[in-house]
């Protein structure tokens, strides 16, 4: 269960190529790569941000040229419907090259769950490494939590609280013009990823974590975007939920509504070798902290999450065998697919206003939310 802290000198990428660099997440990784003094290549057909010094990067307009670059790390910061071309090219290269490819979430569009299975199969026997953007899983705070729990022989996690919210309806923030999908796939998936990752670590894998089955109950509110004409149907903008995964109760709130508090909060409680423990962590940049059993772990509040993704992904690529990276408790395609599946369960529960119960990880793997079939009945803006 333990994770070593990455050596920044060994893990810092020398070159980074970002597709979709002007988008919300693309820009986060662009700034992180610049802060690490990496050589930077970008591919984005949109207007260049006015506040960006382009002298520190190389713009590549032709996609074939971009995906053929000899960069150490590629980041596909693209919506699922625009990601396939780059993914296909990178898959061909990764058959023989041990490249690191970071992919934005959601793993697939809500109406195309079959793309998740395709991605898992396509990356099964390649030399390269595909990982997904769940920043909390790369964060030193998570390693601190895992290392603490690894001290004990018998760990029982009774409750997990997860919250990840920001005001995404504010019309004065131009980044809110970026189109999104329903919040269960867009934001709740980060909370789901944290809970699944921690339970999988403690219980020896996702299958063991789901022994005893799982149940999901969610309720959602519609999102009111500043640019409703860009949306073909109304998407969910807030989701409150409760889940039971095996013996663990998970409650959460993901909120993109007007006035939402900016937070990435995680609380975990249970027993370790028979004694109660409590963990309270905040992952929001500028406010990061971690308190374990009342003791402040002295985290750097300003530590940049996207810089840590680049560093930790590089450390894993350097020190962990490829087979373990593709199959173990890492943000790999297999893991990302399970988070997508659980997002689908959560969306279906909200849509039906009902509890969804599944018996095992096999049932979760087979679950189909029927999102595509419901598209015709979904409301259009304005609401």
In this predicted structure, what is the pLDDT of residue 2?
41
Kindly provide the b/e burial profile for residues 273-296, where b requires at least 16 CB atoms within 10 angstroms of the residue's own CB: eeeebebbbbbbbeebbbebeeee
How many Cβ atoms sit within 10 Å of the Cβ of residue 140?
19
**Domain boundaries along the sequence of the chain:** 8-135, 136-301+331-377
Instruction: Give the distance from CA 87 to its chain's centroid.
Output: 17
Residue 363: HSE in the Cβ half-sphere, 13 Å Cα cutoff: 12
User: What digits encode the pLDDT tens for the residues 341-368?
Assistant: 999 999 999 999 999 999 999 999 999 9
Q: Which residues of the chain have pLDDT under 70?
A: 1-9
Tokens of 192: 């789901």
- Domain 8-135 in this protein, CATH class: alpha beta
Instruction: Give the distance from CA 260 to its chain's centroid.
Output: 20
CATH 3.40.50.2300 is the classification of domain 136-301+331-377:
no
CA distances to 32, 217, 267 from 162, rounded to whole Å, are 25, 15, 7
Dist CA 379 CA 255 (whole Å) = 20
Tokens of 284: 């929001």
In this predicted structure, what is the pLDDT of residue 1?
41
- Nearest in space to 164 (alpha carbons), one of 197, 136, 198, 132: 136
Residues written for the chain: 383
Residue 237: HSE in the Cβ half-sphere, 13 Å Cα cutoff: 23
In this predicted structure, what is the pLDDT of residue 11?
81
**Sign of torsion over alpha carbons 280, 176, 192, 306:** negative
In this predicted structure, what is the pLDDT of residue 10?
75
């Amino acid at each position: 269960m333990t994770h070593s802290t990455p050596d920044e000198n060994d893990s810092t990428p020398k070159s980074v190529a970002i597709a979709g660099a002007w988008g919300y997440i693309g820009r986060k990784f662009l700034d992180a790569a610049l802060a690490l003094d990496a050589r930077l290549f970008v591919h984005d057909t949109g207007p260049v941000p006015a506040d960006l010094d382009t002298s520190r990067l190389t713009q590549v307009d032709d996609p074939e040229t971009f995906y053929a670059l000899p960069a150490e790390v590629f980041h596909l910061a693209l919506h699922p419907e625009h990601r396939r071309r780059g993914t296909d090219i990178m898959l061909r290269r990764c058959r023989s090259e041990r490249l690191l490819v970071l992919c934005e979430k959601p793993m697939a569009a809500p109406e195309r769950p079959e793309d998740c299975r395709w991605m898992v199969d396509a990356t099964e026997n390649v030399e390269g490494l595909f990982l997904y953007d769940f920043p909390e899983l790369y964060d030193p705070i998570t390693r601190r939590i895992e290392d603490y729990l690894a001290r004990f022989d018998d760990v029982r996690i009774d409750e997990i609280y997860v919250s990840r919210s920001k005001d995404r309806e504010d019309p004065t923030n131009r980044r809110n013009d970026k189109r999104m999908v329903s919040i269960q796939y867009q934001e709740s998936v980060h909370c789901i990823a944290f809970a699944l990752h921690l339970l999988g670590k403690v219980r020896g894998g996702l299958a063991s974590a789901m022994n005893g089955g799982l149940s999901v109950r969610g309720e959602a509110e519609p999102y009111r975007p500043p640019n409703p004409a860009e949306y073909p149907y109304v998407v969910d903008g807030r989701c409150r939920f409760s889940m039971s995964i095996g013996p663990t109760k998970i409650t959460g709130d993901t909120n993109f509504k007007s006035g939402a508090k900016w937070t990435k909060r995680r609380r975990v409680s249970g027993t370790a070798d028979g004694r109660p423990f409590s963990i309270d962590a905040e992952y929001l940049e500028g406010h990061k902290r971690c308190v374990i059993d009342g003791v402040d772990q002295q985290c750097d509040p300003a530590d940049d999450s996207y810089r840590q993704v680049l560093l930790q992904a590089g450390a894993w690529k350097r020190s962990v065998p490829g087979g373990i990276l593709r199959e173990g408790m890492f943000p790999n395609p297999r893991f990302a697919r399970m988070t997508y599946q659980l997002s689908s369960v959560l969306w279906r529960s909200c849509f039906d206003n009902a509890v969804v119960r599944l018996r095992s990880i096999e049932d979760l793997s087979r679950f189909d939310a029927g999102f595509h079939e419901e598209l015709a009945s979904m409301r259009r803006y304005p609401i």
